[in-house]
């Protein structure tokens, strides 16, 4: 999208705006396709009081009560969208969402809690949602609205594990470099709601989970730590991960003791796929990163770009992944065509410095360093679709072929900021942060590369 400028004479700063607008416009338009309202509208059909979704049919009049429970960054907007579709059938409900990401509902109560570190409201939501789940009887239907962020927002703790123990654990997990599967393996094994435990509480009622995925591979057991999904991990695996990242001495002994008790068979495992309760559980994924990337592909094509979807499952340390992406950009830049390269997934960051940032900002900074000698006009944008990249108010950052000139003018050392995990303050100084605000959805991260 070209700004309306007098006589089409573009200054240095206006040329930057042109590049930024295309990338941001593609990103923002894509976000609108994976928000809860269109996702639920596109997946649910109501005909003669029968709800049809993914070849399954649910006669809404056949249930005595219909409850709605949920957790995640998108859950409030999912609840709002579901009320619009079947509000007259809903008995009541409760969902928990991160602070500031709420939406007005009529029959479904909203609790706000902290993310990524749980707080008292996370435990309050856990208690109340488990209590409401226990109300459901065999002739009832329970919708469970699940999206990324649910792991921190919804919790019920066993044994002698306290909230402060959990908070300490989460801080260690999100900074040690563990991937989401490893993080959630530990979370599931110190929880009374994750790893299928919520589904067990809902049984014998019918459980219909509508899920927006924020994990690579869309693995059900990892989305919000799988409250209604079967789990194929064991206590032994949780302990192995703790040892892998040297967390033994960094987390409270109560957690180690509980996991050891599980390994010894003194406390029950998470629910396995053979459990009979899953005969009455329907887990339906309605939103994914792949869906977002395919939408972005169509949108970028309308902007006149030749689009290539490079990778849909990027994982690993952000600074390492950045070098691989930069290599792809350099390799594919030989073409004279106007190109858009798309990547999706979610990286991790092992925090060693004392700065501020998120995985998308760190990845973008590392790409900037790797492309120092790259001389083709380009824009690179990496953003979290939920609007919050790590513990910051930015969803990510962007760079282009003018960025190094700005870096030199301000006398900045990108390597120094990268080593201190301080990408936020780096991009703040060159005005390259992307701030969308909380988006009400969450389908991992998107990377958009434009080659002019």
Q: Where in the chain is the domain with CATH 3.40.50.10180?
A: 37-287
Q: Where in the chain is the domain with CATH 3.40.1480.10?
A: 15-33+290-451
Q: pLDDT, tens digit, for every residue of 228-264?
A: 999 999 999 999 999 999 999 999 999 999 999 999 9
Average pLDDT, the chain: 94
Give me the phi and psi of 309, to 5 degrees please: -85, 105
pLDDT category at 103 given cuts 50, 70, 90 is: very high
Q: pLDDT, tens digit, for every residue of 65-96?
A: 999 999 999 999 999 999 999 999 999 999 99
Core vs surface per residue 201-213: b (16+ CB within 10 A) or e: bbbebbbbbbbbb
Nearest to 96 by CA among 132, 60, 58: 132
The interaxial angle of helices 289-302 and 12-33, nearest 10 deg, is 130
Tokens representing 348 are: 């991790």
* Mean pLDDT of all residues in 41-47: 96
- Would you state the pLDDT for residue 20? 56
pLDDT category at 11 given cuts 50, 70, 90 is: very low
- Would you state the pLDDT for residue 244? 96
- In angstroms, the CA 59 to CA 52 distance is 9
Based on its alpha-carbon atoms, the radius of gyration of the chain, rounded to whole angstroms, reads 23
Is pLDDT above 60 for 13? no
- In angstroms, the CA 262 to CA 275 distance is 18
The interaxial angle of helices 235-244 and 180-188, nearest 10 deg, is 130
Name residue 376's beta-bridge partners.
Answer: none
The model's pTM is: 0.92
Q: pLDDT, tens digit, for every residue of 391-426?
A: 999 999 999 999 999 999 999 999 999 999 999 999
CA 350 to chain centre: 18
> Considering the chain, what percentage of its residues have pLDDT values greater than 90?
92
CB 369 within 8 A of CB 388: no
CA 385 to chain centre: 7
CB 382 within 8 A of CB 364: yes
CATH topology of domain 37-287: Rossmann fold (3.40.50)
**Where does 15-33+290-451 sit in CATH, by number?**
3.40.1480.10
CB 384 within 8 A of CB 358: yes
- In angstroms, the CA 41 to CA 122 distance is 29
Nearest to 102 by CA among 94, 110, 114: 110
pLDDT category at 16 given cuts 50, 70, 90 is: very low
| Helical ranges in 144-250 per DSSP H | 150-153, 163-175, 180-188, 197-202, 235-244
Ordered DSSP codes for 97-120: EETT-----SSEEEEEE-SSS--H
Task: Give Cα separations from 232 to 229, 255, 395 (angstroms).
Answer: 10, 20, 32
Give the 3-state secondary structure percentages of the chain, helix then strand then coil, rounded to 5.
Answer: 45, 20, 35
Nearest to 143 by CA among 132, 152, 159: 132
């Amino acid at each position: 999208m070209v700004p309306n400028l007098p006589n089409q004479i573009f200054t240095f700063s206006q040329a930057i705006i042109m590049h930024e607008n295309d990338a941001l416009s593609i990103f923002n338009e894509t976000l609108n396709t994976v928000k809860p309202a269109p996702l639920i509208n596109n997946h649910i059909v109501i005909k003669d009081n029968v709800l049809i979704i993914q070849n399954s049919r649910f006669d809404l009049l056949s249930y005595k009560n219909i409850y709605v429970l949920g957790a995640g960054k998108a859950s409030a907007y999912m609840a709002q969208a579901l009320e619009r579709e079947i509000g007259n059938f809903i008995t009541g409900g409760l969902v928990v969402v991160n602070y500031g990401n709420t939406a007005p509902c009529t029959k479904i109560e909203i609790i706000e809690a902290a993310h990524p570190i749980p707080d008292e409201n996370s435990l309050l939501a856990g208690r109340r949602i488990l209590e409401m789940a226990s109300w459901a009887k065999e002739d009832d239907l329970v919708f469970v609205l699940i999206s990324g962020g649910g792991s921190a927002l919804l919790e019920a703790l066993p044994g002698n594990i306290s909230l402060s123990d959990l908070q300490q654990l989460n801080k260690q997990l999100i900074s040690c470099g563990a991937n989401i599967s490893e993080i959630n393996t530990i979370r599931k094994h110190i929880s009374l709601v994750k790893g299928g435990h919520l589904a067990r509480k809902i049984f014998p009622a019918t459980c219909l989970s509508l899920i927006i995925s924020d994990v690579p591979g869309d693995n059900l057991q990892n989305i919000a730590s799988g409250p209604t999904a079967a789990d194929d991990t064991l206590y032994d695996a949780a302990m192995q991960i703790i040892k892998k990242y040297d967390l033994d001495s960094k987390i409270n002994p109560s957690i180690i003791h509980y996991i050891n008790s599980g390994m010894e068979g003194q406390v029950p495992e998470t629910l396995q796929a053979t459990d009979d309760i899953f005969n009455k559980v329907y887990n339906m994924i309605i939103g994914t990163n792949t869906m977002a990337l395919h939408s972005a592909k169509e949108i970028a094509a309308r902007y006149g770009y030749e689009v290539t979807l490079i990778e849909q499952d990027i994982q690993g340390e952000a600074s390492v992944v950045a070098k691989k992406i930069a290599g792809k950009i350099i390799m594919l830049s030989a073409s004279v065509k106007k190109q858009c390269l798309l990547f999706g997934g979610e990286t991790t960051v092992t925090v060693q410095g004392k700065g501020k940032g998120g995985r998308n900002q760190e990845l973008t900074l590392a790409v900037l360093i790797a492309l120092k000698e790259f001389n083709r006009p380009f824009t690179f944008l990496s953003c979290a679709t939920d609007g919050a990249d790590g513990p910051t108010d930015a969803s990510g950052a962007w760079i282009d072929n003018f960025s190094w000139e700005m870096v030199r003018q301000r006398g900045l050392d990108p390597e120094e900021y990268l080593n201190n995990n301080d990408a936020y303050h780096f991009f703040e100084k060159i005005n390259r942060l992307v701030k969308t605000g909380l988006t009400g959805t969450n389908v991992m991260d998107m990377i958009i590369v434009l080659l002019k």
